[in-house]
Structure 1
Amino acid sequence: MNSEIQNIPSISKLHEIFNFEKPTHPLISIIDVSKWEIPAKYVGVKYTTGLYSIALKDKSCGLQYGRNTYDFNEGVLIFTAPGQVSSVMKPQALNEIQGWMLFFHPDLIRNMPLGSTIEDYNFFSYDVHEALHLSDTEQKTITDCVGLIQQEISARIDNHSQTVISSSLELLLNLARRYYERQFNTRSARNSDVVSQFHTYLGDYYKSGSFGELGPPGIEYFADRVHLSGNYLSDLLKKETGYSAKDHINNFIIDKAKTLLLAESNSVSEIAYKLGFNYPHYFSRLFKSKTGMTPQEYRDAN
């Protein structure tokens, strides 16, 4: 297996490597997956691209993104962002897989409204096992959007092309955001278990003394333990509780701080260090923003 990571910086390079026809647009391309033959020589080769991708496939296609392998037996939508590593785990014959893959370069949207909001679509950083499962109706709607984009990039490029393509992409992404919200809702029971696990891990982290030794935990600490990506976990928490992961951690800190301020005689600075703050004034600022009082004022009032 080739351990080197090959970079695909552009649409033209993507077409060249995989022997596709010359692209009709320099910054965006839609590939018919049924016509994508992947020979054995590509198995195990790792790739990273400078492209965003959106893919709809009808079953497992032998692709691995990051740490997880795409292994579904139904149509799902997966998203990847520039810089993510993927690899082919098995050869693919013509007509073996049905679906499409849409690739676009960041330059396509850089001077468009979508260019300033693309990072808000967190699902570009979800793990592959957090893919979006579509109903038949949803799948048709998404595919119709892709069809509009295909018509545009197949026609002669004019002064309106970039605006039309970017707007169509934005519509597709907003639909995906809506459908992900539906998916969060239908998985509410399982999501509640994840929220419970999050709070358990947060409490255990505090009991172990890790706040003082390592500082407050980041979202990745919890994501690794519940086997989700950081962005997916953060979105799940926001959907289920109304609070982001950072809000949960800060609220936990304030709750513990109130207990320590009233139960111990340690100085405010000592309590700040115990809660993971290297600089006590950061702790005081957070405490006041959440309670309307400084730690000392809270102590004096109670």
Structure 2
Amino acid sequence: MLGYGTMPGIIFLFLLFFIPESPRFLIQKGKDEKAFLILKRINGEEVAKKEAQEIKASIEVEQSSSVKELVKPGLRMEMGVGIFLALFNQVIGMNAVTYYGPDIFRSVGFENNTEFLATSIIGSVQVVFTILAIFLIDRLGRKKLMAIGSSLMAVFMLLIGSVFFFEPANAGVLLIILIAGFTASFCVSMGPIPWIMIPEIFPNHLRAKAVGIATIFLWGANWAIGQFTPVLINNNMGGAFTFWMFAVINVICFIFVMTIVPETKNKTLEEIGQLWKTKEQLKKEKKAQEEIA
């Protein structure tokens, strides 16, 4: 089973030979001509000239930037939202299902490898609804999808916990349906959207550093879920306590999305940057523009 994991790795390694180097990296290394040829191949000559100039200007600002800027007013809130999006991507319960699906299904009576079949059904749901998310994200908006998804996930986690608590006769079938519903909700909302929003809420000159910090929190949360889920499932309350806890976390996620996370649908990076500025910063900018006018 583990050996099959080498196949995607080999395919990826082969395809890397056909992937061009990043134009930004090439310009950083002084290889402007190579960078221009790649940009030209993607968007044409006129757009390539403009993009090359923008990249050069961005790199100059980026080289003088510091991580300390991320704790300044405005950017501090931006960094906080990025970190919490990363955390909620991991701690709302999907990884518990992904990592320990066979154990969860086995605990309600699946046996003779049927628990692996049930887990593969959940995997198929992940694929289908992640594809669906591609079409919904720019139509419904990031914030709306995350709010809908987190509220549905809270309901499904509450019901999954109830299955473990009351242990009905058809627990296995109910569990597959409920976990499939939870998975579908996750895959159109808190699964892909944080990976999209985290990079787009930060300014160009700080994006790499900020995304790196958010990703540290993301994988830290991933490690915690992997380590402590078996402990929670095997305690006195078992699955009921574990999944009700995830239901509460999803409610917190819903409140966070509704009250703090901005909508970035159809907004330019400059417009997104304005969302995080303090009233004092906006007043100064307005005053400067009036003086210029």
For normalisation by structure 2, the TM-score amounts to: 0.25
For normalisation by structure 1, the TM-score amounts to: 0.25
Higher helix share: 2
Q: Which has the higher contact order (CA 8 A, sep 6+)?
A: 2
Higher strand share: 1
